[in-house]
Structure 1
C-alpha cells in the first residue's frame, strides 16, 4: 500500500504540472494569436482596419463615424437597410483613405484652415445650409450672432457637441480640398498652337481603297494556344492585366420560396377573416382586427381620390358598396382583403392660412392650455373685429415656417397623412371660406390653430378603404426542407470534385461568379457578404462551405474554384481574356505570309480570295470606318501620304489583316473655330477634372492595405 501511495503522490504532482503547462501554453497561445484570430499581446493592433502609406486606420474610429452617419440617415427617415449600410461603409472608407493621402499633400503645400477662416465659413456671407435654415428670420436675414451663441452653448461630451465637431471637421476638409483643386486648376494651360494643330488635323479627310482579309478565314481549331503563349503575352502587357485580390466561386441553390400549399394556406386564412372584416364598423374595430392579423397594410383613416387609385383592381374597388368586402386577391407579394369604409367629395389641393398658438412657446417656457385658448380666442375676436390677418400672423403666430408667408400653406391630398389629423380634416373635409379653431396634439405643432380655408381645387369623389393583407411567405416545413437539403449537400461534399459530381447527379444548376474583397453582392444572388467573407478569410482553392447560407429566399452552398492574389493575372485567369488576341496574332502572321510581296490591291485580293473595297471621306478624328468598325490602325494609316504612291504593308487590325492604298487626302475648313474660346473652355474642363483625377492618381501610387474583410 505504501508503494502505491508513493506512486499516487508522484502522479498527482505530474498531473498538476501537466495542467499548469497546459494553462501556460493556452495563455501564451492567446497572447500570440488573440481571441478569434484578431491579434493578441504581441500580434500588433487588432483594430487596424487598414493602412495607407503606413498610417493606420483604426476600426474604432471608423465605427464611431459610421454610427453617427447611420443615425443621421435615421433622423432623416431613410430606410437603413443592408444596402445603405454597405454604401455608408464604402463612402467612409474612401473618406478615411482620402484624409490620409490629402492630409500629407496639404501639409506639403501648406494648405490649412485656421480658426478665423473656420469662423468665416460658419458665420460669414455664405454660411452652411444647416445654420442658415435654423438662424434666418422672417425677413430672410441670417443672424450670425445667434448662430455663434448656439454653437458656443454646446457642451463638451454631449452627442450634439460631438456631431457638430464632426460637421466642422468636414467643412474644414471641404475648404482645404477647394484650395487644392483651385491651385491645380489654375496650373492648367493649353497652348494655342496645340489647338490650332489639333483643329487642322481634325479637318482632314481621306479616301482609301482596301482589302480586308478576316481572321475568320482561318479556322480557330488550327491555331493552338499554349500556356507559354499566354504568359508571354500577359508579361508584355502587364498594365492591362492587373487584378485585385479576387476569388472565383461556384454555387448551388435550394429554393425556400413559398410553395403552392403555403400560398393556399395564407389564402384560406384570409377567407376566414372576411366576415370579421365586414363586421368591423368603427375605426377602433378595424385597427384592432388588422393588428391582430398582422396586416402588412396599416389602416389609413383618410380618403384617397379616385384619380389617385392606381392599384390593381381599382375599378372593382370603386364599385364596392359601403361595408362590402372584396377578395382575397393577389396584390404584389400579398393576399389582400379590401373593405369599402366610405366615400365623400374631396379636393385634390387646398390653399389655407393659419395662426398657431403653441401650448409651449418657442422660448421653451410653458404656456398653459387655458392661456393658449384665451389667446387664440382673442385673436379670432380681433380679426372678426377688423384686425389685419397678416399683422396678427407676424405678431402672434408660433409657426416660424409660415410667418414670412402670411401664414399661408398649399397642400395636395397626397400630403394628408403627413399633417395632423385635426388640421387635415379641417382643410380637406370643409369648404372654401371656412374659419375654424382646432386643437392639435402633434408635438411640433401642439396648440391651437386658427385656420381659414382660402381655396380648394379639383374636387372629386374620394374613397376610404381598409386593407387586410398577409404576405405570401414560406411555411416552416418549406424552409426546413430547403435548409435540410442544402445542409446535407454541404456536409456530403467536402471537395470541389465531389461538389461538381453530386451537383450533376442531383441535376442542380451551378452558377459561377467572380468576387473581390470589397464586394457585398454576388451576381444573381444579391446581398451575400457572409459568403464573400468566408471565401476570403476561411476558404482555400477547392474549399466547399461547411454549411449553407441563407440569401433572400434561397439556401446557398458555395465552393471556391480559384484564388487570385493582387498583381498580374495568372495564366489560368488571363487565358479567357487574351486567347482570342493571341490567336489573331498568329492568324495575322499566316495571312501576312499569304499576302506575300503583292504590289497592288488587286494582287492582294487575288492571293487571299477577297475583294477590293473603298471607304470615302474618313475623318481624322473618327473612331471607326463605315462597314468595317473601330479599326484605329487602319484609320491612322489612311492619312499616311506614303501610301498614295504604293500600297501599305499588311496592317494587323481588330477583325483581320488590312492592306490599303490612299486615294486622296484633303481638308474641310472649320469656319467656326475660335482658338481663344476653345482654349478657355478646355482649361476650365481640365481644371474641374484635375481634383478628382489627382486623388485617383494618389490612390494608385499609394501603399493601401485593406483589412475590412476581417471586420465586416
Structure 2
C-alpha cells in the first residue's frame, strides 16, 4: 500500500492503543493551518486575485516533492502552478456556492460503496493485491491525525517519534486536501456539463457529421513540390500574429548565445586512474577466501552482492560486456579480468564463484516487525529464542510458532511462502538468501526493511540446469582531476575577461574554433536549456538573463559550471551573452522560432493559393498529379471524427473538403499540414440511423464539455490577477 502502508508499517505501535471515536462528519471538521503552531502568520509571497499566497503554503507543498528526484527550481514551478490552480478553483466554486461537506468527505474516504470513494483514496490507500480500501483502518488514521496534541502525547517524549508522527500528519492532511480539491473540481465540471443543453437537432447534426464516411481519390502536393517563388513580408507576418493573438501570447522570454569549454580528462588523468585500478586488481588476485574478497571489495564499494548471474543476466543485469561473458564462464574461480575500459570507467572483475541455480524455491518465515534499533534488537532476541527451540526441540512446530508470533499475512498458513520463482517480487535481501546464499533446512535470521525474519528453505527445484556466476566488480570513473578542471576554469575566466560583449564573444569563439549556440524563448523561472540540459545551472543562467540589470549584448561575469551528477565532476564551463529580451505579450518575429513558424504558415498559404489558381486549367486529378510529379491515391470510409487520410495522418481540413464536395465532382484545393490536397469524392457512406437519441445527446454534450474544460484553466489564469513575488 502507498501512504497508508507507510504509515501503518512505520507507526503500527501507535495504532495498537488507538481508540476510534466519532463519526465521519466530526472527523472531517476543518483543521486550521495555524491552529497547532505558535503563530498562524506567514510571509506573503504572492497573490491570486488579491488572495494571499503564504510562504508556509509554498514550503509545505514543496516538502511533498522532496526525495522524488526533482530539481529545486522544478519543484518551485510545479508548486506555484498547483497553488494558483487550487486557489482559482476555490474562488470559482465559492462564488458558485459549491462546497464539499464533511458528510461528503466521509463518503469519499469511508463509503462501503466503492463508486463513492475518491479516486485518490482508491489509488493511494487501497491494498496493492486486493485493490480494496480497508475503511476501518482509514477511520483509525483519520482519528489519529486529527489531534496534534494527542499525537505529541503519544510520542511520550521521544523526539524522533514525535517528528515522525508530525511528518505523517502533514502527509495525511495533504491527502485530505487533495481529495477535497478533486471533489470540488469534479463538482465544478459536472456543473459546467449540466449547464450545456444539446437539442435533438444538434445531436442529429453532430452524429451525422462525425459518423458519415467518405470514399475519395485524392492528390497531395507537398509544399516542397511547388517551386513558384513565394515571399513573405515582415508586415504580413506581423498582421498574421495580430490576427491570431491568442495563439501567440507569450510570457517574457530571453534569447541567449553561449559557448562551452568542455572539461575532459587528460592522458595523465587517465594513466593515474589506470594505475590505481591495476593496484586494486593485484589486491583482488591476492585475496584467496570469501572473507578476504569481501574485505578488498568493501574498501572501494558500498556493497558486495551475493547474486549469481546466468549468461544472459551477466550482460542485462550485471552490465558486463558481452565479449567477456564466455571467458568469465570458462575461467577458474578466482580469475581476475582487467583493468578494462567500459564507457567512461576503468573496471576490474573477479570471478568469485560458480553454482547451479534452482528454478524455484519453497520457504517459510516468521517476521517480527521493527521500527527502530531497539525494536530490532528485541526482535532478534525473540527470534533467536524461537530458532533455538526449533533446533533443539524435536516436538516444536514451525507452523504453530509462526501463527503465534509472526506479524505478516503468512502467519495463518504457518509462515509458508509457497513455491517462488526467481522473478518473485521479494525485497533484495530475501530473494538473495532464497536463491543464492541460503541452504536447505537451515534456520537463518535475516534483516529487511520490514523487520527481522527467521527464514527456512524447505525445498528446491532444479529443472533447467541453470548455472550462475558470482562476480566482484570494482570501477573508477575516468574523469578530469581537480588540476585539469581548474586549468579549464582559468581558461574560461580569461576568455570572459577579454570578451565583454556578444560580438566580442562570437569573434573570439570563432578564432578558438568554439561553437556559439543560440537558444531562444527562455521564460523566467525555467530550468532547461537545449544543449545544457535540465539542471540548476540552466536555471541560474536563465535567471541571470532575466535580471533587470542584464542588458542586451552583455556577457556573464563568471563561468557557469555544469556538473555530471552521475560521475561526480564538472564536465563543462558555460559562458553566455544576452542576445535579446522579449517582453510579456504578443510574440514577435524577433523570436527566431516564431518567425520560422509564421513564415512557413504564410508561405504554405500562398502556395495553396497558387494551386487553386491553376485548377481552372487542370480538370482532373491525373492532370494535377502529372504537373506536380505526384501520384493519385485513394482513401476509404474517412470520417470527420478521426480525420485520418490514408498514411498521411490526421487531416481535418481534407475531410471537411470531402464533406462539402458532391459525389463525382473534383474539389477545390485546401492546404493541409504537409501539402495541398484536391479530392474527388467517389461515394459517401451515410451515418447509421440513431436508435438511442438520449445516448447520442449525452455523447455530444460530453464532447462539448471536454472542449470547454480543456481550456478553462488557462482562461481562468488569463482573466485573473496573479502576482508572483517569490523571487522579488
Same fold, TM exceeding 0.5? yes
Match of 1:556, SS state, is strand
Aligned partners of 1:250 and 1:559 also within 8 Å? yes
Match of 1:402, SS state, is helix
- The question of 1:108 aligning with 2:95 is answered yes
Distance in 2 (CA, whole Å) between partners of 1:209 and 1:131 is: 55
Match of 1:267, SS state, is helix
Aligned partners of 2:357 and 2:435 also within 8 Å? no
Q: 1:494 to 1:417 in 2, by over 3 A?
A: farther
Match of 1:304, SS state, is coil
1:295-374 maps to which residues of 2 (within 5 A)? 295=301, 298-310=303-315, 311-312=320-321, 313-356=324-367, 373-374=384-385
- The question of 1:154 aligning with 2:171 is answered no
Match for residue 194 of structure 1 among 181, 187, 202: 202
Match of 2:79, SS state, is helix
Paired residue for 2:511? 505
Match of 2:590, SS state, is helix
Match for residue 402 of structure 2 among 372, 393, 401: 393
Post-superposition offset of 1:438: 2.8
Distance in 2 (CA, whole Å) between partners of 1:699 and 1:692 is: 13
Distance in 2 (CA, whole Å) between partners of 1:454 and 1:461 is: 18
Aligned partners of 1:48 and 1:57 also within 8 Å? yes
Post-superposition offset of 1:532: 1.2
- The question of 1:576 aligning with 2:596 is answered yes
* Cα offsets for 1:476-513 (capped at 9, x unmatched): 33322322222222221111111121122222111111
Post-superposition offset of 1:522: 0.7
Distance in 1 (CA, whole Å) between partners of 2:202 and 2:314 is: 62
Distance in 1 (CA, whole Å) between partners of 2:553 and 2:252 is: 17
Distance in 1 (CA, whole Å) between partners of 2:447 and 2:140 is: 29
Aligned partners of 1:131 and 1:147 also within 8 Å? no
Post-superposition offset of 1:97: 1.0
Post-superposition offset of 1:374: 4.5
Aligned partners of 1:132 and 1:142 also within 8 Å? no
- The question of 1:491 aligning with 2:509 is answered no
- The question of 1:704 aligning with 2:725 is answered no
Distance in 2 (CA, whole Å) between partners of 1:335 and 1:550 is: 25
Q: 1:191 to 1:331 in 2, by over 3 A?
A: farther
Q: 1:509 to 1:450 in 2, by over 3 A?
A: closer
* Cα offsets for 1:127-178 (capped at 9, x unmatched): 74666669x9x99884566445543542398333333333332232233233
- The question of 1:479 aligning with 2:490 is answered no
Paired residue for 2:579? 561
Q: 1:504 to 1:107 in 2, by over 3 A?
A: same
Paired residue for 2:540? 530
TM-score, structure 1 normalization: 0.74
* Cα offsets for 1:456-491 (capped at 9, x unmatched): 455632222221211111123332232222222222
Paired residue for 2:12? none
Post-superposition offset of 1:278: 0.9
Distance in 2 (CA, whole Å) between partners of 1:116 and 1:627 is: 54
Distance in 1 (CA, whole Å) between partners of 2:378 and 2:556 is: 65
Distance in 2 (CA, whole Å) between partners of 1:323 and 1:247 is: 60
Distance in 2 (CA, whole Å) between partners of 1:365 and 1:474 is: 44
Match for residue 167 of structure 1 among 159, 171, 175: 175
1:118-137 maps to which residues of 2 (within 5 A)? 118-125=105-112, 128=121
Distance in 1 (CA, whole Å) between partners of 2:437 and 2:227 is: 80
Unpaired runs of 5+ in structure 2? 1-40, 154-162, 564-570
* Cα offsets for 1:344-392 (capped at 9, x unmatched): 233244231223467999997996876655555557788x5496x6555
Q: Which moved more, 1:304-313 or 1:460-469?
A: 304-313
| Larger CA Rg, structure 1 vs 2 | 1
Distance in 2 (CA, whole Å) between partners of 1:479 and 1:361 is: 44
Post-superposition offset of 1:559: 1.3
Post-superposition offset of 1:326: 0.7
Paired residue for 2:452? 446
Q: 1:401 to 1:233 in 2, by over 3 A?
A: same
Distance in 2 (CA, whole Å) between partners of 1:108 and 1:617 is: 51
Aligned partners of 1:334 and 1:470 also within 8 Å? yes
Match for residue 181 of structure 1 among 189, 209, 212: 189
Paired residue for 1:232? 239
Post-superposition offset of 1:284: 4.9
Post-superposition offset of 1:243: 2.0
Q: Which moved more, 1:491-500 or 1:265-274?
A: 265-274
Q: Which moved more, 1:694-703 or 1:681-690?
A: 681-690
Post-superposition offset of 1:436: 3.6
* Cα offsets for 1:196-217 (capped at 9, x unmatched): 3344445364768999897976
Post-superposition offset of 1:557: 0.8
Match for residue 667 of structure 1 among 672, 684, 703: 684
1:217-228 maps to which residues of 2 (within 5 A)? 220=229, 225-228=232-235
TM-score, structure 2 normalization: 0.73
- The question of 1:99 aligning with 2:113 is answered no
Q: 1:338 to 1:110 in 2, by over 3 A?
A: same
Indicate the RMSD between aligned Cα atoms, in angstroms: 4.8
Distance in 2 (CA, whole Å) between partners of 1:494 and 1:466 is: 52
Aligned partners of 2:544 and 2:550 also within 8 Å? yes
Post-superposition offset of 1:453: 1.8
Aligned partners of 1:215 and 1:584 also within 8 Å? no
Match of 2:151, SS state, is coil
Paired residue for 1:251? 258
Distance in 2 (CA, whole Å) between partners of 1:516 and 1:366 is: 55
Aligned partners of 2:223 and 2:607 also within 8 Å? no
1:632-643 maps to which residues of 2 (within 5 A)? 636=656, 640=660
Distance in 2 (CA, whole Å) between partners of 1:581 and 1:360 is: 63
Q: 1:682 to 1:321 in 2, by over 3 A?
A: farther
Q: 1:639 to 1:108 in 2, by over 3 A?
A: closer
Distance in 2 (CA, whole Å) between partners of 1:682 and 1:381 is: 76
Matched length = 637
Paired residue for 2:9? none
- The question of 1:58 aligning with 2:54 is answered yes
Aligned partners of 1:52 and 1:100 also within 8 Å? yes
Paired residue for 1:23? none
